[in-house]
Amino acid sequence: MASNYPFEHLRAKPNEIELFEKRLPHVAKEMSEFYRTMEIANRSIAQKNMFGNPLGIRQDLGFENALKLLLIACFNDGLLVEGDTAAKSIDVFRALTLKWFTFGNKLGGCLYFGYFAYGCHSHALALFNEHLKQIEFLAGGAKSRLQAPDIAELLAPTHSKAWFKTSNGLGDKLHPIAISDTDVTKTGLPRPGYQVHFRNSNQFDLRAPPFIEMDQVETPVIRDAKVIVSCPTCLQKCRGNLFKQIEITCPSCKTTWKQFTS
Ligand SMILES: [Zn+2]
């Protein structure tokens, strides 16, 4: 089981723990407790599975409280500001959880976060919405968003907005993320796209976004043994010979990427 998680090999650079503690002092203080409650919650889910019972949200009682304290810490450190949505908050928590794992913490915390944020997404949204309302009331005034470049690097995006569609799933053109069709639900209006839930494989990949907008997904156009795909950086249409996997260099901006065509 443990060797299957695609983000598992990720490790932080040696200076990143220190940087995290220096730039995000409140978050760093709450993060270990938040992560600990998720590890416990994950163990309780795993045990339920062992006895053949269906998955249930048998959360450790401390999880929700730790989530709230971490949310307040995110506002104190400027990772979140007044007006940020529940979806934005979940994405910040996703990035923090993944980063905390790369500091050498156990996988279980990430797996519970995946189960919570992807597998039970609407529940997670409701929970964040509820706490955001309370916290905005508590916090009162707006604080400005943290703009430090080293934080931008520390919590750098783990996925792009340029995805390709194949016959059995979705792939990120710029990051090594592949998601099976059985792990997403296609949604229509008002928000067309793909809800990423990982409920079939349970192979939560915390690098992936919980939702991919339809206009970020391209189906390769195939014509006369050529394939036409858009550059993930400048959107230039690029042509290449048709193979199952192709590597393209954009003639305009020189971005090079690999993708599947079917
Ligand atoms: Zn380009």
How far away, in angstroms, is 261 Cα from ligand 1 center? 18
* pLDDT, position 149: 87
The string of DSSP letters for 10-40 reads ----TTHHHHHHHH-HHHHHHHHHHHHHHHH
Confidence (pLDDT) at 55:
55
Ligand 1 center from residue 230 Cα (angstroms): 8
Ligand 1 centroid to Cα of residue 24, in Å, is: 35
Q: How far does residue 57's CA lie from ligand 1's centre (Å)? A: 45
Q: How far is the CA of 231 from the centre of ligand 1 (A)?
A: 5
Candidates 212, 176, 163; CA nearest to 191 is 212
Tell me the CA–centroid distance for residue 240 and ligand 1, in Å: 14
**Which segments in the chain show pLDDT lower than 50?**
1-2, 54
Element at 64 (helix H, strand E): helix 62-76
Give CA angle at 222 (158, 186), nearest 5°.
50
What is the ipTM metric for this complex? 0.99
CA of 205 to the centre of ligand 1 (A): 27
With b for 16 or more beta-carbon neighbours within 10 A and e for fewer, the 111-123 pattern comes to: bbbbbbbbbbbee
Q: Residues 11-59: pLDDT tens digits?
A: 998 899 999 999 999 999 999 999 999 998 888 777 665 555 545 555 5
Residue spans of the domains in the chain: they are 2-154, 163-260
- Residue 94's SS3 state is helix
